[in-house]
Amino acid sequence: VGERMSRYEFAIKIAEVLGLNKSLIQKAEMKDMKWIAKRPRDSSLNSENTRKLLTTDFYHNPFEILKEEYLKGE
């Protein structure tokens, strides 16, 4: 909770949780990307208010919840 991750770190974590090949994920600089729309360098969100309002405990292990949902679709 409260931890920031780069887009690269986020992709690596998802690959780890889902058992996917992490070596296919390549680190890149934002300036080298050919985005159609502008993207902020820091796209992290402060979720403190959301955490206070929701009763769902998806903050402690969101990647495990992602894995469960992913496996349901297989």
Q: What are phi and psi of 35, to 5 degrees?
A: -70, 145
Q: Which of 13, 22, 7 is nearest to 63 (CA)?
A: 13
How big is the CA angle at 12 (ends 9 and 15), to the nearest 5 degrees?
Answer: 150
Q: Is the overall model pTM greater than 0.75, yes or no? A: no
Is there a contact between 62 and 3 (Cβ–Cβ < 8 Å)?
no
Please write down the long-range contacts of 18-26, taking CB distance under 8 Å and 24 or more positions apart. Answer: 18/66, 18/67, 18/70
How far is it, in rounded angstroms, from Cα 6 to Cα 41?
Answer: 10
Q: Is the pLDDT of residue 59 over 70?
A: no
More confident residue, 46 or 16: 16
Per-residue confidence (pLDDT) for residue 73, from 0 to 100: 82
